[in-house]
Amino acid sequence: MSENRKRLRAELFNRAVKGEFPYYSDMLPLLKPRIESGWRPEWSEDLNQIAMEERSHGYQDITFIFILRGKETGLPSQSILEKRTRRIKSKWKSCVRARMI
């Protein structure tokens, strides 16, 4: 497993436990090689691997907690779907806690 994948997975679980929904850009300080902005294809592959591993073990895809900036994406944000966000936070906290036991 790549170091970036380990860092991404750990940070995703930390954020899930806290009930946070990170932006992709929040992960940039964790990843190498460092870049100021943008996203490298190998990081997307790391996220795909994390998602496949989670699903293969019968867990929810933890990469689902990422949100994208900008309304033009059509993807939800915390402020727009507050009730849904609370349900998702609760679901992820339960899932992450169960895996840590």
d(CA 75, CA 80): 10
- Statement: residue 70 has pLDDT above 70: no
Residue with tokens 């939800």: 76
pLDDT tens digits, one per residue of 20-67: 888 888 888 989 888 887 888 888 889 889 989 988 999 888 888 887
Higher pLDDT, 99 or 44: 44
pLDDT at 76: 39
pLDDT tens digits, one per residue of 2-23: 899 999 999 999 998 998 888 8
The model carries a pTM of 0.66
- Please state the domain extents for the chain: 3-100
- Statement: residue 68 has pLDDT above 70: no
